[in-house]
Amino acid sequence: MLNLFKLFANKTNLRIIQLFVQTNKEICVCEISDVLDIPAYDISRSLSKLKRKGFINSRKHNKFVYYKKEGALTDPLKKKLISLIKNLPEASFEKDIILLKKRLSMRKDKNCACIIGKAEWKREVNFTLNRE
């Protein structure tokens, strides 16, 4: 049980699970990396921990791995944790959610658009956040 609390004491893990809880979408590692502005290797490590604990699952499509919130949580403690995370003040994660929606809108044929350059993404971030 303590390990579950330690998992979400990490801000990156908490921000990642919040993306899944609030959007209920499949998300690629590079999309999460762009949105949170955290290197992909750190995102992958967090996703691996969340997957091992049963909070998310994954599927491979071409060269991409897409992650999604586990829909059938049976452990009452895990259900309660997800419920608590879902009800955290939205303002804490509002920027992340706005940027994720923008990033997902850039997909090509419903597939991750990992070819987006960092400079192009930074322009999109500034434009999106200045409109909100």
pLDDT digits (tens, 9 = 90+) for 9-54: 899 999 999 999 988 899 999 999 999 999 999 999 999 999 999 9
Q: Would you place residue 92 in the very low, low, confident or very high pLDDT band (cuts 50, 70, 90)?
A: confident
Domains located in the chain, CATH noted? 2-131 (1.10.10.10)
d(CA 33, CA 96): 11
| Three-state DSSP state, 59 | strand
- What is the model's pLDDT at position 120? 74
Q: What is the pLDDT of residues 49-85, one digit of tens each?
A: 999 999 999 999 888 899 999 887 788 888 888 888 8
60: its two tokens = 């491979």
- What is the model's pLDDT at position 71? 81
d(CA 34, CA 57): 20
Mean pLDDT confidence for 1-10 = 83
The pTM of this model reads: 0.85
